[in-house]
């Protein structure tokens, strides 16, 4: 007996060696080992015979499948257990564990392609592995190991949902950031609000509209973005651009003219009007806001928080003309859900933003309401800033125009000047001109550009102009010395940072000859245009601009140029020649050629045509001052007797 046990142990050791099994000396015998593994395995395991029927099942499998082992053993594993994700039986031909009995290779299913039917009728998502069982080299069954993958799938779904939510939030934050950036880039209200609508449609809404309060009861619709994208038909911005072009062509550039152009544009924009292509023009004045209306738009314009509207709110009967006008948009474009949010600052409600969705399956929710309300607050700040900037601009422009006195009547020397402010939405610049008859009878022409914007630059212009006038009148001396004294004053008694200026004296008797005696402090050079169409820049007399200060032993120097009879001297600011791409040389060449072509035009027509031909999409203001000396033998004049315009001695300095 002992000999037989030893021989059996030797045979078992040989089998282990052939199978690659390594055992310790304390290892359990084969039968006990298999039973221990089978019973204590923390995963479900069942074995099948060569026909696919279950021949053994471990306790964990019975627990997961919610079936007693007796009900499992002998059953066809595929028919009893295998289902698709919806609980429908799977075809035997598509059963991968069953296919192991055919090809004899182990297969593995991840947690997306395995589902078992539990005894309770519930589905069990699984991750599984099916391996062939061989005996004496012959395929005799399969071993199917599986675990519950439900929690894993749920965790994966939660992770996917969290990632989707983060992406959604990131997208909304990106939209809000883009809106904030866009609103900060322009002070043109209608343009900014139209761009706002274009960012909201179709990212967050299917169509949008913006209304502004223009008075205690007055309301104006400034933007409508229909389904599909940018505004159809003529927009308020396009209408206003046309009105401004007409205004500019007529030569009106003041704040009052700009306001009139806006009123004219608004009067065109009725909801029942059409443009030249027959498209509805929704922008324009709306019926007045009343205290009695309970319609969403009226409530928001009177101070309500943002409102979330459902189908019943959208289709409710209008209780006032303003509500009816708002309802026309809903009737025209449709809506299943809408939000009406105020454009509100800490002090007042400036308008309302309406956004809608057309799909009933995708209505706005509370998160959307908070987002649109935040966008409304940002838009309100932009509108408020634009209003403040416009008021400052109008004040600065009015101050600036008051500084540009009418030109003096100076005998046979003819003067003309033009000033064109920066386009609407651009800050007021520091361009200015002046002309006066000095005590010695000479006409002085001055043009300059003060660094700064809006109210500050208007104040600095006033300071500089009055100081220079006083210095010119104080004593008879060359322009360079006057500008040196002006520079000292700028540095020591003002907060003007820098400025450029040309001061020029037109010296000579009425009958001629005439000469130009000038100094330039960092300003573009004068342009001389003869009556035969020859033009050139007078590059002499260029000196350091104001505000930087000269060395103690330095001074500016003058230049003198004889003026042919009938010639024109043009003083101008850089806005006339500055191109959007910064090509100053190209602009100066264009100015020289256009001025030569206009040499024989009357002086006023000369200035008007130059502005028209040199006009471009620049954002700077422009000032020009032209002086034309008499033709040879020209008679007449209105100079005061005895005012001969005698020259003064030029200051010595660098040549």
Q: Read off the pLDDT of residues 586-625 as tens digits, 9 standing for 90 and up.
A: 999 999 999 999 999 999 999 999 999 997 766 688 999 9
pLDDT tens, residue by residue, 292-335: 899 999 999 999 999 999 999 999 989 999 999 999 999 999 99
Question: What is the H or E stretch that residue 527 is in?
Answer: strand 527-529
pLDDT at position 39: 82
Buried b (16+ CB within 10 A) or exposed e, 281-307: bbbbbbbebeeebebbbbbbbeebebb
Residue 181 included in any domain: yes
Tell me whether residue 20 is in a domain: no
Residue 402 is predicted with a pLDDT of 66
At 510 the pLDDT is: 79
Distance CA 418, CA 436 (A): 16
Over the stretch 323-338, which tens digit does the pLDDT of each residue have? 999 999 999 999 999 9
Angle CA 263–267–271, to nearest 5: 140
**Which of 338, 366, 394 corresponds to the end of one domain?**
394
Number of H helices, E strands in the chain: 18, 25
- Check whether 261 has a pLDDT greater than 90: no
Alpha-carbon gap, residue 241 to 70, rounded angstroms:
88
Q: Could you give the count of Cα atoms lying within 13 Å of 90 in the half-sphere of its Cβ?
A: 21
- Classify each residue of 381-405 as buried b or exposed e, where b means 16 or more C-beta atoms within 10 Å of its C-beta: bbbbbbeebbebbbebbebbeebbe
Residue 601 contacts residue 609 (beta carbons within 8 Å): yes
Quote the tokens at residue 238: 């396009």
Residue 13 lies in a domain: no
- Span 79-134, pLDDT tens digits: 999 998 888 998 988 888 888 988 889 898 865 558 899 999 999 998 889 999 88
231 is written with which tokens? 């505004």
Residue 612 placed within a domain: yes
Joined tokens for residue 575: 């806005």
**Claim to verify: residue 46 and residue 123 sit in the same structural domain:** yes
Using CA atoms, how far apart are residues 610 and 594, in angstroms rounded to an integer?
Answer: 7
Is a pLDDT exceeding 70 seen at residue 72?
Answer: yes
Is the pLDDT at 226 greater than 70, yes or no? yes
Instruction: Label residue 557 by pLDDT band (50, 70, 90).
Output: very high
- Judge if pTM exceeds 0.75: no
Among 148, 181, 201, which residue terminates a domain? 148
Sign of CA dihedral 244, 250, 253, 255: negative
Same domain, residue pair 244 and 376: yes
pLDDT for the residue numbered 110 = 63
Query: In which domain, by residue range, is 210 found?
Result: 172-394
With a CB cutoff of 8 Å and minimum separation 6, the contacts of 243 are 261, 262, 264, 265
Residue 275 lies in a domain: yes
390 and 416: one domain? no
What's residue 198's pLDDT?
Answer: 87
CA atoms 388, 393, 396, 401: torsion sign: negative
Distance of alpha carbon 425 from alpha carbon 540, whole angstroms: 37
* Listed range (179-193, 360-374, 474-488, 526-540) with the worst mean pLDDT: 179-193
Q: Shortest CA distance to 60 belongs to which of 139, 168, 146, 122?
A: 146
pLDDT at residue 287, as a whole number: 94
What is the pLDDT at residue 277? 40
Is-contact 365 338, C-beta < 8 A? no
Helix (H, G, I), strand (E, B) or coil at 477: coil
CA 489 to chain centre: 43
Same domain, 264 and 182: yes
Question: For the chain, what's the residue count?
Answer: 655
List, in order, residues 6 or more apart from 8 with CB less than 8 Å away. none
Higher pLDDT, 297 or 406: 297
pLDDT above 90 (res 640): no
> What contacts 24+ positions apart, CB below 8 Å, involve 367-371?
368/204, 368/308, 368/339, 369/306, 369/308, 369/339, 369/341, 371/172, 371/176, 371/204
Do 267 and 363 lie in one domain? The reply is yes
pLDDT at 642: 34
pLDDT of residue 419 exceeding 60, the answer is yes
- Is pLDDT of 270 > 50? no
Q: pLDDT tens digits for 210-221?
A: 999 998 899 999
Q: Given this model, what pLDDT does residue 537 score?
A: 98
Q: Which residues pair with 343 in a beta bridge?
A: 351
- 182 and 139 in a common domain: no
Taking the C-alpha atoms of residue 507 and residue 108, their distance in angstroms, rounded to an integer, is 104
Integer Rg of the chain from CA: 44
Report whether 627 contacts 443 (CB < 8 A): yes
Give the whole-angstrom CA distance, residue 362 versus residue 346: 33
Least Cα distance to 556 among 536, 542, 570 occurs for: 542
Cα 362 from chain centre = 27
pLDDT at 393: 67
pLDDT, residue 511, reads 82
One-letter-per-residue 3-state SS of 179-246: HHHHHHCCCCHHHHHHHHHHHHCCCCCCEEEEEEECCCCCEEEEEEECCCCCCCCCCHHHHHHHHHHH
With cut-offs at 50, 70 and 90, classify the pLDDT of residue 420. confident
74 and 135 both lie in a single domain: yes
Task: Give me the pLDDT at residue 262, please.
Answer: 36
pLDDT higher than threshold 50 for residue 204: yes
**CA dist., res. 650 & res. 76, Å (int):** 119
pLDDT, tens digit, 9 for 90 and up, residues 466-486: 999 999 999 889 999 999 999
- Are 322 and 219 spatial neighbours (Cβ–Cβ below 8 Å)? yes
> Domain for residue 112, yes or no?
yes
User: Which CATH number does the domain housing residue 434 bear?
Assistant: 3.60.40.10
- For 482, counting Cβ atoms within 10 Å of its Cβ (0-12 exposed, 13-18 middle, 19+ buried), the class is buried
Mean pLDDT along residues 252-258: 36
What is the average per-residue pLDDT within 428-433?
Answer: 82
Kindly tell me if the per-residue pLDDT of 232 is higher than 50. no
Q: What percent of the chain has pLDDT over 90?
A: 49
Report helix, strand or coil for 58.
coil
Query: Helix, strand, or coil here: 5?
Result: helix
pLDDT value of position 646:
57
CB 242 within 8 A of CB 209: no
CATH at residue 351: 3.30.450.40
Instruction: Tell me: do 379 and 430 sit in the same domain.
Output: no
**In this structure, what are the phi and psi dihedrals at residue 70, rounded to the nearest 5 degrees?**
-65, -30
C-alpha 209/C-alpha 508 separation (Å) is 65
> Comparing 61 with 615, which gets the higher pLDDT?
61
Instruction: For residues 250 and 239, give the distance between their C-alpha atoms in angstroms, rounded to a whole number.
Output: 17
Please state the domain count of the chain. 3
Q: Are residues 411 and 464 in the same domain?
A: yes
Q: Among candidates 494, 421, 487, which has minimal Cα distance to 453? A: 421
263/371 same-domain check: yes
191 contacts 240 by C-beta, under 8 angstroms: no
Q: Are the CB atoms for 304 and 340 separated by under 8 Å?
A: no
Last residue of a domain, one of 346, 363, 394: 394
| Rounded Cα distance, 530 and 382, in Å | 50
Task: Check whether residue 475 and residue 519 sit in a common domain.
Answer: yes
pLDDT of 58 higher than 70: yes
Q: What is the mean pLDDT of the chain?
A: 81
pLDDT, tens digit (0-9, with 9 covering 90-100), for 20-51: 433 334 444 566 767 777 888 888 999 999 99
> How far is Cα 420 from Cα 301, in angstroms, rounded to an integer?
38
| C-beta separation of 514 from 507 below 8 A | yes
On whether the CB atoms of residues 628 and 567 are closer than 8 A, the answer is yes
pLDDT at position 397 is 66
Q: Between the CA of residue 579 and those of 51, 574, 583, what are the distances in Å? A: 88, 9, 5
Same domain for 457 and 336?
A: no
Alpha carbons 137 and 407: distance in angstroms, whole number: 117
Distances, alpha carbon 602 to alpha carbons 186, 414, 435, 566, in Å? 39, 10, 19, 11
| Sequence-ordered strand ranges (E) for 257-336 | 273-274, 280-281, 284-286, 307-309
Band of pLDDT at residue 651, cut at 50, 70 and 90: low
Q: Does 237 have pLDDT greater than 90? A: no
Look at residue 637 in the predicted model and tell me its pLDDT.
43
pLDDT of residue 7: 52
Q: Is residue 473 assigned to a domain?
A: yes
Q: What is the pLDDT of residues 484-510, one digit of tens each?
A: 999 999 999 999 999 999 999 999 987
Structural domain includes residue 289: yes
Cα 257 from chain centroid (whole Å) = 29
Residue 114: which CATH number?
A: 3.30.450.20
């Amino acid at each position: 007996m002992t000999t037989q046990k030893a021989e059996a142990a030797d045979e078992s050791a040989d089998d282990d060696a052939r199978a690659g099994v390594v055992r310790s000396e304390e290892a359990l015998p084969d039968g006990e080992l298999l039973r221990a593994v089978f019973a204590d395995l923390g995963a479900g395991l069942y074995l099948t015979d060569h026909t696919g029927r279950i021949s053994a099942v471990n306790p964990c499998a019975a627990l997961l499948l919610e079936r007693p082992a007796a009900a499992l053993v002998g059953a066809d594993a595929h028919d009893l257990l295998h289902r698709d994700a919806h609980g429908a039986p799977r075809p035997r031909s598509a059963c991968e564990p069953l296919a192991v009995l055919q090809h004899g290779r182990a297969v593995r299913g991840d947690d997306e392609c395995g589902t078992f039917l539990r005894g309770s009728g519930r589905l069990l998502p699984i991750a599984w592995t099916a391996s062939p069982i061989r005996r004496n080299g012959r395929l005799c069954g399969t071993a199917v190991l599986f675990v519950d993958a439900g929690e894993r799938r749920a965790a994966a779904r939660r992770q996917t949902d969290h990632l989707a939510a983060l992406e959604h939030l990131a997208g909304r934050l990106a939209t809000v950031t883009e809106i904030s950036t866009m609103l900060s880039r322009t002070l043109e209200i209608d343009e900014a609000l139209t761009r706002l609508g274009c960012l909201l449609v179709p990212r967050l809404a299917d169509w949008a509209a913006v209304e502004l309060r223009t008075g205690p009861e007055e309301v104006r619709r400034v933007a409508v973005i229909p389904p599909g994208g940018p505004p159809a038909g003529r927009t308020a911005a396009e209408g206003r651009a046309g009105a401004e072009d007409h205004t500019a062509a007529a030569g009106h550039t003041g704040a009052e003219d700009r306001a009139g152009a806006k009123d004219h544009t608004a009067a065109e924009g009725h909801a029942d009007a059409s443009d030249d292509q027959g498209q509805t023009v929704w922008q324009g004045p709306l019926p007045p806001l009343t205290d009695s209306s309970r319609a969403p738009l009226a409530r928001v314009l009177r101070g309500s928080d943002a409102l979330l509207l459902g189908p019943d709110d959208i289709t409710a009967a209008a209780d006032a003309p303003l509500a009816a006008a708002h309802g026309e948009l809903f009737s025209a474009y449709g809506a299943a859900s809408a939000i009406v949010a105020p454009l509100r600052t800490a002090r007042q409600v400036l308008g309302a933003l309406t956004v809608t969705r057309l799909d009933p399956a995708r209505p706005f929710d509370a998160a959307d309401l908070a987002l649109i309300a935040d966008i409304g607050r940002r838009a309100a700040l932009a509108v408020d800033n634009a209003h403040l900037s416009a008021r400052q601009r109008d004040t600065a422009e009015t101050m600036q125009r008051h500084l540009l006195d009418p030109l003096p009547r100076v005998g046979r020397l003819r003067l003309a000047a033009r000033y064109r402010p920066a386009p609407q939405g651009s800050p007021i610049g520091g361009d200015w001109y002046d002309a006066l008859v000095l005590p010695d009878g000479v006409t002085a022409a001055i043009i300059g550009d003060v660094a700064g914007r809006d109210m500050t630059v208007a104040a600095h212009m006033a300071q500089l102009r009055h100081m220079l006038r006083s210095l010119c009148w104080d004593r008879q001396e060359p322009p360079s010395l006057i500008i040196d004294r002006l520079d000292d004053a700028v540095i020591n008694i003002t907060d003007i940072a820098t400025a450029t200026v040309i001061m020029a004296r037109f010296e000579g008797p009425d009958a001629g000859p005439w000469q130009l005696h000038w100094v330039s402090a960092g300003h573009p050079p004068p342009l001389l245009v003869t009556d035969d169409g020859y033009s050139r820049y007078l590059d002499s007399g260029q000196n350091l601009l104001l505000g930087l200060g000269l060395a103690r032993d330095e001074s500016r120097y003058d230049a003198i140029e004889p003026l042919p009879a009938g010639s024109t001297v043009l003083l101008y600011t850089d806005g006339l020649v500055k191109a959007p791409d910064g090509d100053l040389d190209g602009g100066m060449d264009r100015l020289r050629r256009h001025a030569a072509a206009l040499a024989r035009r009357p002086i006023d027509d000369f200035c008007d045509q130059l502005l028209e031909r040199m006009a471009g999409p620049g954002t700077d203001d422009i000032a020009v001052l032209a002086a034309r000396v008499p033709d040879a033998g020209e008679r007449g004049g209105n100079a005061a007797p005895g005012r001969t315009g005698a020259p003064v001695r030029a200051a010595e300095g660098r040549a």
